[in-house]
């Protein structure tokens, strides 16, 4: 059987547009002689649709699209993800489902068994789990169809422990499945490519059956899908692979003698992060209807990397860099910002804020009289810049990109309604150390981000001679503590055993907890780690400071 994996980029809720994209890929699969075209989980509706799944009209439209699609399917079969209604009066009203379309009909439907409720997932809130899931029969072949999480029963990558008592894939093998197919909307996180490969390879090897994994690509809100669809032979070897972060159509003949693909299969960590952020930014802007972006260029490394990513995602003509020097901005920072803009070929604006800052100080003079200068005056500058960027966004119809990184956001080293202003926080899940790695990656062929930007001590330049390290530990130390606390979920005592001083750990952890109210008001951020701020991390704003370690 010739099976085509169509890893496509649907938009949540755009059922009509998604349907047209699916039809186009069906034609491409037919032209290549496929017997069966396979599409990812929830291809028709887009994933994740969250509370749209609760809207009757949304579900009905997706079902109508499935029927329309089936009517155009002839000899080649189509396996596709959609939302199915639950006809029973007990349980959730819908299923996360897969349909086999053949000869103008919906020939078979199977439901997802395992509904994830960790990290960004909350499927048990919406869907009813499958009661049973037997193989489909297509052209005389028994096909074991699983949907995303169904193939992750052996362990959860985040916890390395089994989350489920049953294994739907192996259950289908016991029921006679000859080919295993998993349709997925599996989000990208750093290191996940190899985790998937090992897990699915084990499924194929244990079952002694070929295993096909078809994954979504694209970004919806904060979540990025990387594609990387995979085909394994009965020995668990990878014999075909879809592109990373691009739509692709992969065709494999199960009767052919296939050779394992050469290693390595995947790109390096930093390149994958760059690709993920580029796709996330491009899709967020495009799917939300923004055709241009504005970035405050400070001459620092964070804004430089965001600007380089924006040009890569949207093109130089869609990016405007705005320089807003204050009384404390150094001449070298302005020169670095202008040099970056020249290297990237973007439009620039210079809007000095010294006069506006002085007007604020005069207005607040009587109220602030007799009180020493502190963070209030610093934050006024950041908020002026945020207002100017938002004014440009309103006037020209573009979106502001905020430039803060995960290290800063973690400890609240950022200004509400200031540098946190914007429609998307591109680096909010990127630790400072990785920001430096991205800068060097952009310079791999020619210098885009000047060496001075990379080597100079980071500074917000909101007061004379200010440096980030006046208020924070060195970033390599800070990032180590943050990773342990946020992503590994370790307590202060466990973290301090890694060589960090307990007093420092307690201070950083306290800052992380206190900054939750700020993060709740931050723009959406692109998720690349196992635990990002936003939809996948649900911490109370109001909480006791006691830690259980």
315: left (phi over 0), alpha (psi -120 to 50) or beta: left
Tokens 């010294």 -> residue: 354
* DSSP β-ladder status, 319-323 and 238-241: unpaired
Task: Say what the alpha-carbon torsion angle 506, 512, 514, 516 is, to the nearest 10 degrees.
Answer: -160
Adjacent-strand bridge partners of 80: 99
Would you tell me the crossing angle of helices 475-482 and 432-442 to the nearest 10 degrees? 120
Coil, strand or helix: which one is 549?
coil
Distance CA 348, CA 342 (A): 9
Q: Are 299 and 337 in contact (CB under 8 A)?
A: yes
> Over the range 436-473, which residues count as b (16 or more CB within 10 Å of their CB) and which as e?
bbbbebbbeeeebbbeebbebebbbbbbeebebeeebb
For residue 139, what is the DSSP state?
T
183 neighbors 488 (Cβ within 8 angstroms): no
Distance CA(433)–CA(480), nearest Å, equals 10
Among this protein's residues, is 64 annotated catalytic?
no
Q: Which residue in 112, 209, 432, 518 is the catalytic one?
A: 112
Residue 224 to residue 534: CA distance in whole angstroms: 13
Query: HSE-up of 145 (CA within 13 Å, CB side)?
Result: 30
Residue tagged active-site, from 128, 148, 272, 287: 148
Which token pair is 492?
């202060």
For residue 131, indicate whether it is catalytic. Answer: no
Integer angstrom CA distances of residue 522 from 32, 39, 376, 406, 425: 47, 34, 19, 12, 8
Residue with token string 């692109």:
526
Pick the closest to residue 152 from 182, 190, 191, 175 (CA basis). Answer: 182
Dist CA 470 CA 461 (whole Å): 12
User: Residue 148 catalytic?
Assistant: yes
With the C-alpha atoms ordered 298, 302, 307, 308, is the resulting torsion angle positive or negative?
positive
How far is Cα 259 from Cα 279, in angstroms, rounded to an integer? Answer: 31
Spot the catalytic one: 41, 123, 149, 408: 41
Q: 100-127 burial by CB neighbour count: b if 16+ within 10 A, else e?
A: bbbeeebbbebbbbbbbeebbbbbeebb
DSSP characters over 205-271: HHHTS-EEEEE-EEEETTEEEEB--EEE-TTS-EEEEPPBSS-EEEEEETTS--PPPPSP-S--HHH
* Contact yes or no for 310/275 (Cβ under 8 A): no
Catalytic residue numbers? 41, 112, 148
């Amino acid at each position: 059987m010739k099976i085509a994996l169509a890893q496509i980029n649907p938009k949540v809720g755009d059922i009509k547009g998604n349907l047209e994209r699916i039809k186009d890929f069906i034609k491409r699969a037919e032209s290549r002689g496929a017997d069966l075209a396979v599409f990812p989980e929830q291809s028709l509706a887009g994933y994740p649709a969250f509370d749209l799944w609760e809207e009757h009209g949304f579900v009905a439209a997706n079902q109508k699209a499935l029927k329309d699609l089936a009517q155009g399917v002839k000899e080649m079969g189509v396996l596709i993800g959609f939302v199915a209604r639950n006809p029973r009066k007990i349980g959730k009203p819908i299923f996360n489902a897969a349909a086999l379309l053949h000869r103008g009909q919906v020939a078979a439907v199977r439901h997802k068994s395992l509904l994830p409720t960790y990290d960004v997932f909350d499927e048990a809130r919406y869907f009813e789990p499958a009661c049973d899931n037997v193989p489909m029969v297509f052209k005389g072949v028994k096909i074991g169809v699983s949907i995303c999480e169904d193939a992750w029963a052996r362990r959860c990558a985040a916890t390395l422990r089994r989350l489920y008592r049953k294994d739907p894939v192996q259950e289908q093998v016991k029921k006679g499945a000859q080919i295993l197919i998993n349709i997925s909307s599996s989000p990208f996180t750093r290191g996940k490519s190899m985790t998937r490969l090992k897990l699915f390879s084990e499924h194929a090897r244990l079952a002694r059956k070929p295993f096909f994994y078809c994954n979504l690509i694209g970004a919806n809100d904060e979540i990025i899908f990387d594609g990387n669809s995979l085909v394994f032979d009965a020995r668990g070897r990878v014999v075909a692979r879809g592109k990373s972060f691009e739509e692709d159509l992969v065709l494999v003949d199960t009767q052919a003698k296939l050779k394992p693909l050469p290693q390595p299969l995947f790109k390096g960590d930093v390149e994958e992060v760059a690709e993920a952020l580029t796709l996330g930014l491009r899709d967020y802007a495009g799917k939300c209807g923004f055709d241009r972006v504005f970035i405050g260029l400070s001459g620092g490394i964070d804004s430089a990397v965001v600007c380089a990513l924006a040009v890569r995602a949207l093109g130089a003509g869609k990016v405007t860099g705005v320089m807003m020097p204050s009384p404390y901005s150094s001449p070298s920072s302005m020169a670095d910002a202008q040099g970056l803009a020249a290297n990237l070929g973007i439009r620039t604006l210079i809007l000095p804020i010294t006069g506006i800052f002085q007007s604020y100080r005069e207005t607040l003079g009587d109220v602030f009289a007799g009180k020493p200068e502190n963070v209030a005056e610093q934050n006024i500058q950041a908020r002026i810049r945020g207002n100017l960027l938002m004014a440009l966004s309103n006037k020209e119809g573009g979106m502001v990109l905020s430039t803060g990184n995960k290290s800063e956001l973690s400890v609240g080293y950022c200004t509400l309604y200031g540098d946190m202003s914007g429609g998307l926080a591109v680096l909010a899940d990127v630790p400072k150390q990785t920001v430096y790695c991205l800068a060097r990656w952009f310079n791999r062929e020619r210098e885009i981000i000047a060496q001075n930007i990379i080597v100079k001590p980071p500074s917000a330049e909101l007061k004379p001679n200010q440096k980030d390290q006046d208020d924070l530990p060195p970033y390599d130390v800070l990032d180590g503590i943050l990773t342990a606390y946020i992503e590994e979920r370790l307590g202060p005592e466990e973290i301090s055993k890694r060589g960090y001083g307990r007093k420092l750990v307690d201070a950083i952890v306290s800052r992380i907890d206190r900054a939750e109210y700020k993060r709740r008001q931050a723009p959406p951020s692109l998720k690349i780690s196992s635990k990002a701020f936003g939809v996948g991390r649900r911490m109370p704003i109001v909480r006791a400071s006691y830690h259980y370690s």
